Structure 1
Amino acid sequence: MRTRGMPSFGLLAEKQKDRVYVFGEEGFIFTSPYVLTPATSRNYITILITIDSNGFLIGKTEQMKSVRAAIVGCQVSRSLAAVDVKLVSINITPAHPLFAPLAAVTRDAIHELSPAVHREYDADLEELFVGSLSSARIQSLFHSIVGNAAGCLGISCKPPRYREDLVALLRENPALTLGELAYELKVSYATASRTFMRTFGLPLRSYQFSARLHRCLKVIADAKRLTDLAHDAGFADSAHFTRAWQTAFGMPPSYLTNKTQCDMRGFL
């Protein structure tokens, strides 16, 4: 498929807008009739589903495969071509209880998923795509499909031992250092580092960076200026913020503020 000179998003916005549904700290859903992104990676674990009979292409640029559902590990590089299909992208943040076990199974890989992961929810996915699904059903859909994907991959839903304590500490102090974490847990610096990695599937700094961007995602539609949003999130300037955002989400932050192309809805 030729992609040079073609936009990554928004080409079919007149036919159907892209939509973003953001869930507190645990993730977001993105729907679109058109995504064409070469060799990008995300700070999330992503479940990709199409509710059309036709699939989408995903994989390395030279080895893309047509599938109807797949899960992509955190920071796994992949190209994606979903053109004129109903694509649903379910993005799971490091704060989600299933992120660490999913990260362990999907590390460095893209796994094709059985349509059984979403088949019973196809009617809800259709409504989600056009923006008519209720808030309660959207949140239930998010958690159900994530749980189904974990089950298909043989993952237990039991959270790691220290997870609740660590989440509470990070909620109280988002800039918590590893030394402060070791003090709170009454363990050595090295043990604190290993415990965090085992609990969340990535280092403390990576977790905090992802959390900063996710907080921005929740408020970007209401932000008056990207410069103010960048400074509030702790970035040196808007250029640094835009580069980080582009890497994390595959699109410039200004795209989500363009109401002719994208609708956003947030949940607590």
Structure 2
Amino acid sequence: MPRGGQAQAAGWAGTTTAAPGLLAFTGAIGSAEPHAHAAVQILVVLDGEVTLTDRHGHRCRTEAAIIPAGVRHGLRAAPGAHGLLAYLDPAHPAGRAAGTRIAMAGDADIASTWQAAARPLTATAVTSKITGPAALPGVLCSIGLPTGTRRPPAVLSRALETVPQLIDGPLLLSEIAARVGVSASRLGHLFAEHLQLPFPAWRRWARLLHAIEAVREGATLTEAAHGAGFADSSHLTRVCHEMFGLAPSRLIHLLRPTA
């Protein structure tokens, strides 16, 4: 079952929800400096004005967008903006479906492509009166599985299943490959081809999700960092900022459930 928690921090105030392959936030949206995360991001603006900036400097006001993994972007929200942001593991079925929509819409580096990929989400936001965490299932369903969505090969699925057993250690590609019976180079190719991310980037995302879950369950930053294989809490906070464009203290506060 997903676990939710109230969140409030400098421009961001709402509810977080976590489940396997998914981290979601609903509520008041703040701004984020240019960043690139290893997740496919879904943004649905329910009220107010939100502007996205792509790596070329193009800016566009948006009602909904699907932003691909590994693509640098910034976010500016006017006071009073509310909406939903979901971060999908690119290995998750919803993440793969969202990634396929981006590929079908055009150049993945351009903000207008992100908007075009999200047209079904715009329709969902307009026609549905449901807001908050309850809106998330409808948003994910509206992504669908467009024609051409490929399921990952069995060997990649097995590799992903081994990660939780190794997350607190070096999490080497060669070790995972040996466990599933393929070469490291072949497994690295599968990560890049099917998840649209090189293995090191996906590994940072996997570690961050693991640490986030530990923090949500009451662990200190140091405990969460060590349990997820980060060198220390400073390493964890640097990765948080790189992937979410927020000061680490803000992000961790957003993800802590209230008593």
User: What TM-score does the superposition give when structure 2 sets the normalisation length?
Assistant: 0.75
Q: 1:123 aligns with which of 113, 122, 129?
A: 129
CA distance in 1, matches of 2:235, 2:215: 16
For residue 58 of structure 1, report the CA deviation from its aligned partner: 0.7
For residue 176 of structure 1, report the CA deviation from its aligned partner: 4.7
Q: Structure 1: any 5+ residue segments left out of the alignment?
A: 1-8
The alpha-carbon distance between structure 1 residues 96 and 264, as it changes in their structure 2 partners (threshold 3 A), is farther
Deviations 1:182-227 (A, max 9, x none): 4344444432322332233223332222111001112313335222
Aligned to 1:56: 50
For residue 262 of structure 1, report the CA deviation from its aligned partner: 6.8
Aligned to 1:165: 158
One-letter identity of the residue aligned with 2:158: D
CA distance in 2, matches of 1:141, 1:201: 25
Please report the RMSD computed on the Cα atoms of aligned residues, expressed in angstroms.
3.1
Aligned to 1:217: 212
CA distance in 1, matches of 2:255, 2:158: 37
Q: Is 2:85 the partner of 1:89?
A: yes
Aligned to 2:140: 143
The alpha-carbon distance between structure 1 residues 171 and 224, as it changes in their structure 2 partners (threshold 3 A), is closer
CA distance in 1, matches of 2:248, 2:217: 12
For residue 247 of structure 1, report the CA deviation from its aligned partner: 1.2
My pick for the range that moved more, 103-112 or 246-255, is 103-112
Judge conservation of contact 1:44–1:91 (CA < 8 Å) in 2: yes
For residue 69 of structure 1, report the CA deviation from its aligned partner: 0.7
One-letter identity of the residue aligned with 2:29: Y
Judge conservation of contact 2:43–2:66 (CA < 8 Å) in 1: yes
My pick for the range that moved more, 71-80 or 91-100, is 91-100
One-letter identity of the residue aligned with 1:159: R
Q: 1:198 aligns with which of 193, 202, 205?
A: 193
Sequence identity (%): 20
Judge conservation of contact 1:99–1:201 (CA < 8 Å) in 2: no
One-letter identity of the residue aligned with 1:94: P
Q: 2:247 aligns with which of 213, 230, 252?
A: 252
The alpha-carbon distance between structure 1 residues 200 and 223, as it changes in their structure 2 partners (threshold 3 A), is same
User: What TM-score does the superposition give when structure 1 sets the normalisation length?
Assistant: 0.73
Q: Structure 2: any 5+ residue segments left out of the alignment?
A: 1-7
- 5 Å matches for 1:65-80? 65-80=60-75
Q: How many residues align?
A: 236
Q: Is 2:178 the partner of 1:177?
A: no
Larger radius of gyration: 1
Deviations 1:84-131 (A, max 9, x none): 12121111113313545617727434311455325346323x143xxx
For residue 181 of structure 1, report the CA deviation from its aligned partner: 3.9
Q: Secondary structure at the match of 2:91?
A: coil
Judge conservation of contact 1:19–1:263 (CA < 8 Å) in 2: no
Judge conservation of contact 1:49–1:87 (CA < 8 Å) in 2: yes
Judge conservation of contact 1:21–1:29 (CA < 8 Å) in 2: yes
